[in-house]
Structures are given as structure tokens and as C-alpha cells.
Amino acid sequence: MEVIIRPNADAAADLVAQIIAQELRANPHIVLGLATGRTMETVYARLVEMHRCAENPLDFSLCRTFNLDEYVGLGPDDPCSYRYYMNHHLFSKVNIDRRNTHLPNGLAADLDAECQRYEDKIRQCNGIDLQLLGIGSAGHIGFNEPLSALRSRTRVKALSPVTLAQNAPLFPDPGKMPRRAITMGVGTILECRRCLVLATGSHKADIVAKAVEGPITAMISATALQLHPRCTVVVDEEAAAKLQGTDYYRWVFENEPEWEPFRTGRES
């Protein structure tokens, strides 16, 4: 696991967007795993900006995407659904083929069959090359709530009280927030070729420290990322406040050749 600390939330999101752009330019057929939430909005806005760059536009026409999760009971036209979120923040603003953008169907009559279909579709695309992740307040990745098995696959999960409290304000009527969601499993996520995590803000400092430096436990599904062979965690100073190894993390970013392009200038 690598940890990169940036001065503020905008700089952290900008670096994440640069990494995604670098991977997309290197492999136009890349399979991207995508995430939702307020933290990701700046990332997607930056990617849209790069796509609209006149000199070297970022091309999404050949890539394919899979989102981590979707609420059970919400259709794609519901403003609170993650399909709606992705269409609004990214898909409608770049040249991606909507047929190549995949999210679980929260309205599926047979949810178990839908979960298996999603796993099969990922497999048909030869897996996910780069998975973008946030970390929830309960330490979850996707909706892998506490006690999610580290080998779990795409399935329906009941949402924890912490997640319900965190996400309910995003709904016009918080009382009508779905209590269940379809989510990629921890095992599904760990099979991707590269993980890219973004966490910002002082409210994430405790859980970031536990996820990065704490023991691996099913109570905090993000700790499973310590097992991944190529996981990059990007945080701002506030989210990094309780990490113990910050001096080392800063030294790696400032000295490793891999990060030279990102130290010297922005992707555009």
C-alpha cells in the first residue's frame, strides 16, 4: 500500500484524476471501477475538464466502467440513484458509450440473479483494471458494512446505522432512504489490478488510520486493501492527521521515480 498526502482536498482529488487519466491514456480500452459520493465529485469534474481540453482531450470512447454499488429499489431516473449520479457527474459530459457503463440494477426482480449477472459481466470484461474507492465512516468500501467477509462477492447488504446516518441527508426525505444496496464484495474489489483510494477531511482521520495502519479485520472492510499488491491511498492533510508513518509516506512521494510526473505538473 502507498499513501500520498496532499495539502488539501482539491489537490488530493486532482491527483486522483491525474492518475486515472494517465491509466486511461496508456490503455484506452481500460476497465474502470467507479465510486460515488461527494468526495468523488471533484475527481469527475477534473476528468471532464481534461476531456474538454482542446490540446489533448481525454478520450473515454473505448473504456468500460463498473460501479461499486446501487441502492435496492431505486431506478436509473431517481435523482438519488447512483446511475443518475454517474450520468450527471461524468457520463453525460464525456464521450463514453453508455452501453459500456455498468451498474447493478436496483429494481431487479431477482436480486441474487442480478448479483451473479454483475459478477459474470465483470469476468467477461477480463476484470477491472483500476478501481476507484472512497472510505465510508464505518470503514466500508462499496457497501461492505462491518463483518463483510474478506472473500465476499457482489451481493445485497443491509446498510449499517452509521451508513444510514451518513447518507440520509442526501435524500429529500431521509426517512425514505433505502435500507439495502447491491455492492461488489470485498473479494471482488481485491481482484482488480489496481486500487485507488481517495479520502479527505478531518472526519475521515480516525478511519483512514485504522484502514491503513490498523489490523486487518472484517469489522472494517477497507483494511482488506492492505492485502492488495497495488493500492494507492490519496489523502489530504486533515485525513492524514492520525497516521503514524507520515514522514515515510511523504519521502516516498517526493523521491520515487513513479511519482515524478505528478510532482512536476498537472495532467491536462
The third-level CATH classification (topology) of the domain covering 2-263 is Rossmann fold (3.40.50)
pTM for this entry: 0.96
Question: Per-residue pLDDT tens for 95-144?
Answer: 999 999 999 999 999 999 999 999 999 999 999 999 999 999 889 999 99
Q: Domain ranges in the chain?
A: 2-263
pLDDT digits (tens, 9 = 90+) for 174-199: 999 999 999 999 999 999 999 999 99
Secondary structure, 3-state, the chain: CEEEEECCHHHHHHHHHHHHHHHHHHCCCCEEEECCCHHHHHHHHHHHHHHCCCCCCCCCCCCEEEECEEECCCCCCCCCCHHHHHHHHCHHHCCCCHHHEECCCCCCCCHHHHHHHHHHHHHHCCCCCEEEECCCCCCCCCCCCCCCCCCCCCEEEECCHHHHHHHHHHCCCHHHCCCEEEECCHHHHHCCCEEEEEECCHHHHHHHHHHHHCCCECCEHHHHHHHCCCEEEEEECCCCCCCCCHHHHHHHHHHCHHHHHHHHCCCC
